[in-house]
Amino acid sequence: MSIPRPVQPLARLLAPLRSLLIAAVVLQAVSSVAAVVSLIALAEAVRALLVASPDEDKVWVWVAVCGTTAPVSLLAASAAVTLTHVGDARLQLRLRRALADRLGRVPLGWFARRGSGEVKKVVHDDVHAMHYLVAHTLLDITAVIVVPVTALVYLIVVDWRLGLLSVVPLVAGIWLFARAMAEAGTKMADYGRAAAEINNAVVEFVDGIAVVKTFGRARSAYERFGRAADAFHDFFSRWVAATTAVTTASQIVVAPPAVLLLVLGPGIALVVHGGMPAPEIIPFALLAPGVAGAVSNIGTRLQALRTGGVAAASVAGLLDTPPLPVLDTPRTTDGATADRATVELRGASFAYDGGPPVLDGIDLVLAPGTVTALVGPSGAGKSTLARLVPRFFDVTSGSVTVGGVDVRELDPGTLYGLVGFVFQDVGLLRASVADNIALARPDAPREAIVEAARAAQIHDRVVREPAGYDAVVGHDVTFSLGEQQRIAIARALLADAPVLVLDEATAYADPHAEDAVQRALSAAAAGRTLLVIAHRLASVRDADQIVVLEQGRIVQRGRHTDLLRSEGRYRRMWAAQQSTDQPEQPDPPESESPELPAQGRHEGALA
């Protein structure tokens, strides 16, 4: 059997523990040899007693050997397990620190394209999956190799005929197991993907169940989760069905009754016909089942090795994710231009991972203190364009500047101080409400936090809790998604960034809370440069600039009244929405469409 490819990243991750693990493997080998020797000593003591004239001294020598090697085996095994657990603790700490560091440096767009369940699987599940591998599997594999080899050498010395016969079930079991592993091996990567998908489905279902029930959509949400669970079940069932027959056969041929029948049957015949002394059967009765039985243990341990290898590949894949490039000496906006609230895209194009262009040659200027609305059909590139401004992704060609400086030349902390964003998927920490609002300004006074919450229309909801702003999210209080969005708006208000990007900020507003979200967005609009994605065109009629995207290109731009006068995509979209009085639905794969507040344009610029 060749070493499976997933083991290669595993070897890389375990490299810092190499010396410690080698020491543990050596100790386990000593323990295994000592354990076999203790059984050999027991067998030899019995053989010595069964001869016509037993040699008492010889018997006691073997008893002494057995009494000495047994505790040596236990002590060596204990030391080996201690070393591997120490190594496992070090590995998990090092990996989690490295993963946290890498997650802090990857582009924000990396998270936008992955579910939280997938990230959780790597950081928690896959790292934890390596525990059994490091702490136990390496030692178990050592034992299941050393024990049968040592025992076989002894059995062949006792009687080469029965010794070679003892090898038959071992070889048959290994051959059958190799076939089962080959069948399973092709499916391990698929298993990892299926597990990630069911993780995502579980997280999304649990996180969203309260809100979908509010909307009366619990049945459809359950059906979506059910489809993911059914798909995983179908995959796993096919996988098990493909390997069960061969795996069962490998277990049967190495089972103790089968081995004893195969070895002791001919052995008894040899004794009856004078081919060997009767006491020489004793070692085979004691040791032969253990020789072949090692195959079943090898199967379990190699499966654990393969599973750990797949987990290691996931961890290594995240650790190898390129971080957001940052200049050694980042620039600032000071002195570059007098106005830090100007955003400009020049010939900006973008494609995901070398795929077809999602945006192509975008030229767009967001003047300070104005509102720019992005509209267009699903998949037009609205969300991608909006996410280029806070540098969720880097443009494939062209540039994006804030305050006259290319965003790629700014320190990320500086950029996030200039550009705030409120997206459809809001992330709240398991911390107090105050800490969640003050995420961008940890030193903000309580008065400023409360003022931002009032402006975001969430203050009254917070003070209904006994602990108020000190209530811990997820422990003392649970917010609906609409309420979470208002907390995110309060966070953006407190951060006071001069540029604000709004992506589908009302997508999950509570049925009776949309007006509150709209009032919160009106507060966020005051005095800032806004870039918003709108699927309800009526809400952006008074925007300073409406940009119509189609297939990654700007096909129209202008004021609402001007766009209605000319034939084009915008007029058709407006007519369609007016006739049905229904907004274009948000794009499922990417957040793409918050509404603008309907209370005056920028305190004056919005409908």
The verdict on residue 263 lying in a domain is: yes
Sign of torsion, CA 400 405 410 415? negative
pLDDT at 506: 56
Q: Which two tokens stand for residue 555?
A: 């096909």
Q: Which amino acid is at 148?
A: P
Which residue carries 């589908």 as its tokens? Answer: 504
Residues 234 and 348 in one domain: no
Distance from C-alpha of 498 to C-alpha of 389, rounded to nearest angstrom: 13
The count of residues in the chain is 607
Say if CB 289 and CB 72 are below 8 A apart.
no
pLDDT at 115: 66
Backbone angles phi, psi at 345, to 5 degrees: -110, 125
pLDDT at 588: 43
The verdict on residue 497 lying in a domain is: yes
The verdict on residue 433 lying in a domain is: yes
Backbone angles phi, psi at 584, to 5 degrees: -65, 135
Distance from C-alpha of 521 to C-alpha of 524, rounded to nearest angstrom: 5
Residues 514 and 572 in one domain: yes
The verdict on residue 594 lying in a domain is: no
Count CB atoms within 10 A of the CB of residue 590.
23
Domain boundary among 286, 319, 352: 319
Distance from C-alpha of 181 to C-alpha of 185, rounded to nearest angstrom: 6
* Whole-number percent of the chain with pLDDT over 70: 80
Q: What are the pLDDT digits (tens) for 8-64? A: 788 889 889 999 999 999 999 999 999 999 999 999 898 888 877 888 888 899 999
The verdict on residue 607 lying in a domain is: no
Residues 454 and 417 in one domain: yes
Distance from C-alpha of 62 to C-alpha of 48, rounded to nearest angstrom: 9
Spatial strand order in the sheet of 405-406: 357-366, 343-351, 397-402, 405-406
Backbone angles phi, psi at 502, to 5 degrees: -115, 115
The verdict on residue 132 lying in a domain is: yes
Residue 411: helix, strand or coil by DSSP?
coil
Which residue carries 């490819």 as its tokens? Answer: 5
Residues 85 and 188 in one domain: yes
pTM to 2 decimal places: 0.65
Residues 217 and 184 in one domain: yes
Pair type for strands 371-375 and 405-406: unpaired
Q: Tally the domains of the chain.
A: 2
Distance from C-alpha of 150 to C-alpha of 132, rounded to nearest angstrom: 26
Residue 518: helix, strand or coil by DSSP?
helix
Count CB atoms within 10 A of the CB of residue 151.
25
Domain holding 285: CATH number? 1.20.1560.10
Consecutive 10-residue runs of the chain (607 residues): their mean pLDDT?
56 90 96 94 89 84 93 96 94 91 82 73 85 88 89 90 86 77 62 66 59 49 68 73 71 79 85 84 85 71 78 88 82 60 93 88 92 91 92 93 91 87 79 91 93 90 94 89 85 89 65 61 75 83 91 94 91 86 47 38 41
Distance from C-alpha of 23 to C-alpha of 87, rounded to nearest angstrom: 11
Backbone angles phi, psi at 472, to 5 degrees: -90, 125
Neighbour-count burial of 382, counting CB atoms closer than 10 A to its CB (0-12 exposed, 13-18 middle, 19+ buried): buried
Backbone angles phi, psi at 357, to 5 degrees: -60, 135
> Would you give the distance in Å from CA 212 to the centre of its chain?
25
Domain containing 125 equals: 10-319
Concatenating the DSSP letter of every residue in 340-365 gives TT-EEEEEEEEESTT-SEEEEEEEEE
Residue 106: helix, strand or coil by DSSP?
coil
Contacts of 387 (CB under 8 A, 6+ apart): 108, 109, 112, 393, 501, 503
Q: Which two tokens stand for residue 206?
A: 């649990």
Spatial strand order in the sheet of 499-503: 419-422, 499-503, 529-533, 371-375, 545-550, 553-558
Q: Which two tokens stand for residue 578?
A: 């007016």
Say if CB 270 and CB 161 are below 8 A apart.
yes
pLDDT at 18: 92
pLDDT at 516: 64
30 φ/ψ sector (left φ>0, alpha ψ -120 to 50, else beta): alpha
Which uninterrupted H or E stretch holds 535? none
CA-based diameter of the chain, in Å? Answer: 118
Residues 161 and 291 in one domain: yes
Which residue carries 């005929």 as its tokens? Answer: 161
> Would you give the distance in Å from CA 130 to the centre of its chain?
14
Residue 547: helix, strand or coil by DSSP?
strand
Count CB atoms within 10 A of the CB of residue 381.
24
Q: Which two tokens stand for residue 256?
A: 């103790």
Residues 147 and 59 in one domain: yes
Output DSSP code: residue 458.
Answer: -
pLDDT at 461: 93
Q: What are the pLDDT digits (tens) for 206-264? A: 555 544 444 445 555 566 667 777 777 777 777 776 667 777 777 777 777 888 888 88
Residues 213 and 348 in one domain: no
pLDDT at 226: 74
Domain holding 537: CATH number? 3.40.50.300
Count CB atoms within 10 A of the CB of residue 216.
9
Residues 252 and 138 in one domain: yes
Distances (CA, A) of 316 to 6, 13, 162, 254: 10, 8, 48, 37
Count CB atoms within 10 A of the CB of residue 101.
11
Pair type for strands 397-402 and 405-406: antiparallel
Residues 308 and 433 in one domain: no
pLDDT at 299: 64
Say if CB 302 and CB 141 are below 8 A apart.
yes
Contacts of 604 (CB under 8 A, 6+ apart): none
The verdict on residue 571 lying in a domain is: yes
Concatenating the DSSP letter of every residue in 198-216 gives HHHHHHHHHHHHHHHHHTT
The verdict on residue 389 lying in a domain is: yes
Residues 278 and 417 in one domain: no
Q: Which of 124, 545, 600 is nearest to 368 (CA)?
A: 545
Count CB atoms within 10 A of the CB of residue 605.
20
Say if CB 485 and CB 508 are below 8 A apart.
yes
Say if CB 570 and CB 556 are below 8 A apart.
yes
* Burial letters 354-366, b for 16+ CB under 10 A, else e: eeebbbbebebeb
Which residue carries 């590139």 as its tokens? Answer: 381
Residues 185 and 59 in one domain: yes
Sign of torsion, CA 358 363 367 370? negative
